[in-house]
Amino acid sequence: MKHLDSFNFKNKKVLIRVDFNVPLDKEMNITDKTRILAAKPTILKVLKDGGAVILMTHLGRPKGEKVDSLSLERIAGPLSDALGIVVQCSTDVVGEDAQTKAKNLAMGNVLMLQNLRFREEEEKGDVDFAEQLASLGDFYINDAFGTAHRNHASTAVIAQFFDKEHKAFGYLMDKELKAIDTVLNTGEKPVLAILGGSKVSSKITIIDNILPAIDKLIIGGGMMFTFIKAQGGQIGGSIVEDDKLDLALEILEQAKKHNVEVHLPVDVLAADDFNNGAKTQIVDVDKIPDGWQGLDIGPESIEKFKEVILSSKTILWNGPVGVFEFENFAKGTKELGVAIDEATRAGAFSLVGGGDSVAAVKQFGFEHKMSYVSTGGGAMLESLEGVKLPGVAAMEA
């Protein structure tokens, strides 16, 4: 598929699928504009060429009903500020107002269609609805990596109504796909994957898919206790998936077959309760007393993992290694971030993805110190699992 830069959009009305499903607080104010800013370069490319932009996105889960609190008018203001031009918003998705405003849209201007999920046809992947969307523009750009794993009308169905000369990935989508390809296929060795989070079961398909591509694997977070217990360790009251002990041993066996070094923590910061003010002690990871639970990796583990990180050239980080939401159990995750930052400055490629690890990176100020921080949690995880995303496959057809 042609790169976006190979097209000129002069006098073209360009439909761009963006992901402006931004987090909102209780007063429905935007709390993080990352996704809006991430789409800005693609929008500006069309405008600078002399084209007009028609944006499509969803917000929240209105489930096919018009919910005033999820109207995209609340996005139009911050987007207007980011672009430096007034963004108009239609009152419907493909109805009379959207059609009239799209038809009358002057070059150099931006129209945002109303929340796609106000229409149930969007999530159903309805072909007629997708065709109605397609009729509003001359060209289609998919820049919504965060929804590329959904078989929805605006992401996976609409592309069939544009030939290869009239559709392309946006800059953000292109960056996301290249970052994942670097980890799985083209990255400089040694390749390291750091997997955290609470459950082995949620990461098993990722592990299966990446083992042939990586050289080292660090396992942290709650999922590490399933591995420790499977090997006969005492984990006290730590989180564990007792029905996945055999699976953990199988993963370790598969890693051996692929010559992947597996690094598990050797010590933990244990607590007598699951709260920030709990009593703590440093103990060996396989000798946690009853009534205590591991909530972060310990100092020896931090030093061990730092060495592994600094000796790697390509790094994938998916999941925190402790309960970083509690300040007293955030050190392990924070120190890993410091080490990945140092490795990145020394020339390594680092990709951070998955909701919790992205939240941690933002919380500790590492967002601009990694090579790439993914904007799409679910889509990135499915890519790492080896799934061909519907929104990507549709563009390549």
Q: Are 349 and 187 in contact (CB under 8 A)?
A: yes
Within-domain flag for 107? yes
Q: Are residues 271 and 211 in the same domain?
A: yes
Instruction: For residue 74, say whether it is annotated as part of any ligand binding site.
Output: no
pLDDT at 265: 98
- Write down which residue in 117, 151, 169 finishes a domain: 169
- Write down which residue in 169, 199, 230 finishes a domain: 169
Q: Are residues 76 and 208 in the same domain?
A: no
Q: Are 18 and 111 in contact (CB under 8 A)?
A: no
pLDDT at 24: 87
Q: Are residues 192 and 301 in the same domain?
A: yes
User: Is 362 designated active site?
Assistant: no
Q: Are residues 180 and 122 in the same domain?
A: no
Within-domain flag for 380? yes
Which residue in 199, 287, 306, 362 is the catalytic one? 199
Q: Are residues 147 and 247 in the same domain?
A: no
CATH of the domain at 303: 3.40.50.1260
- Residues of the chain falling short of pLDDT 70: 355
Q: Is the dihedral angle over the CA atoms 168, 174, 178, 181 positive or is it negative?
A: negative
Instruction: For residue 355, say whether it is annotated as part of any ligand binding site.
Output: yes
Copy the structure tokens of residue 161.
């109504």
Instruction: For residue 345, say whether it is annotated as part of any ligand binding site.
Output: no
Within-domain flag for 391? no
β-pairing, 87-89 vs 110-112, is: parallel
Output the CA–CA distances (angstroms, integers) from residue 33 to 22, 40, 72, 76, 125, in the order listed. Answer: 7, 11, 14, 12, 27
Helix or strand run (H / E) with residue 164: none
Instruction: For residue 25, say whether it is annotated as part of any ligand binding site.
Output: no
Q: Are residues 232 and 309 in the same domain?
A: yes
Closest CA to 380 of 149, 194, 168: 149
- pTM of the full structure: 0.90
Which residue in 13, 35, 167, 331 is the catalytic one? 35
User: Is 237 designated active site?
Assistant: no
Within-domain flag for 393? no
Residue type present at position 73? E
Q: Are residues 242 and 317 in the same domain?
A: yes
DSSP 205: H
Which residue in 64, 95, 108, 355 is the catalytic one? 355
Instruction: For residue 337, say whether it is annotated as part of any ligand binding site.
Output: no
Residue 12 CA from chain centroid, whole number:
31
pLDDT at 379: 86
The count of domains in the chain is: 2
Q: Are residues 215 and 70 in the same domain?
A: no
Within-domain flag for 392? no
Instruction: For residue 117, say whether it is annotated as part of any ligand binding site.
Output: yes
Which residue in 64, 95, 108, 378 is the catalytic one? 378
Within-domain flag for 318? yes
Instruction: For residue 60, say whether it is annotated as part of any ligand binding site.
Output: yes
User: Is 355 designated active site?
Assistant: yes
- Write down which residue in 169, 204, 233 finishes a domain: 169
Measured between alpha carbons, how far is 216 from 177 in angstroms, rounded to an integer? 22
Q: Are residues 185 and 124 in the same domain?
A: no
Within-domain flag for 292? yes
Copy the structure tokens of residue 268.
């933990």
Count of other CB atoms within 10 angstroms of residue 81 = 13
Q: Are 215 and 255 in contact (CB under 8 A)?
A: no
β-pairing, 267-271 vs 280-284, is: antiparallel
Measured between alpha carbons, how far is 219 from 305 in angstroms, rounded to an integer? 10
Q: Are residues 212 and 348 in the same domain?
A: yes
Q: Are residues 189 and 115 in the same domain?
A: no
Q: Are residues 194 and 132 in the same domain?
A: no
Spatial neighbors of 70 by CB under 8 A, at least 6 apart, are: 59, 60, 62, 115, 117, 118
What is the residue range of 268's domain? Answer: 176-384
User: Is 378 designated active site?
Assistant: yes
3-state secondary structure at position 287: strand
